[in-house]
Amino acid sequence: MIALSGRTLLTSLLLAGLLLCRSAPSALAETKAEKLHEIVQLSTGLTSTTTQRMIDALWPQMASALLRGNHAIPADVLDGLRGIFVEEYQAALPDLIRKVEGLYAATYTDQEVDALYAFYTSPVGRSVMAKQSVILPQTLALTTPFGQQVAQKVLPRLVDTLKSKGYELH
């Protein structure tokens, strides 16, 4: 069995959405639900119409993981597997969008939703979101090694503290 990190796949999905799937507001939203739908699409890139770009970005990673499990998988078999990936991804995306919209609805007041909507649909908001595709990978490049360095430094201290309190670690 091939072990694919759920965190790695989730990160890839979100990055693909942020980096590849910007969309313009479809029309002026009036209700809170409509505004939240637009905000989620504009701020995360999670849209049903941009699924293909996300899949195109994610499939090479998935195919690579499959090939690490068995180098002998022929290209025609991988092409068939891509179809399954596309089907599952497209089926799952609307549920993810609804969940994110629900999270936003539970988090933001009506006034905040109005302000976010005004921002994301403004020229400045669109410019800020367009720049996210540049700044997000750079931010991840900084934060990943930082987290690893801190973990390497703090782990021995944590282990020593636990041992000094009589805990055995295996």
Lowest mean pLDDT segment, chosen from 37-41, 80-84, 134-138: 134-138
Average pLDDT over residues 27-52: 79
Separation of alpha carbons 22 and 24, rounded Å: 7
Considering the chain, what percentage of its residues have pLDDT values greater than 90?
A: 25
Instruction: Answer whether 0.75 is exceeded by the pTM.
Output: no
Separation of alpha carbons 65 and 50, rounded Å: 23
Cα separations in angstroms, 103 against 37, 49, 97, 109: 11, 21, 10, 12
- pLDDT of 136 higher than 80: no
Give the residue extent of every domain in the chain.
6-121, 133-170
Question: Which of the listed ranges 7-16, 39-48, 57-66 does the model predict with the highest average pLDDT?
Answer: 57-66
Separation of alpha carbons 157 and 14, rounded Å: 34
Average pLDDT over residues 111-134: 90
Average pLDDT over residues 43-57: 73
Separation of alpha carbons 142 and 145, rounded Å: 6
Tokens (6 digits) for 111: 């006034």
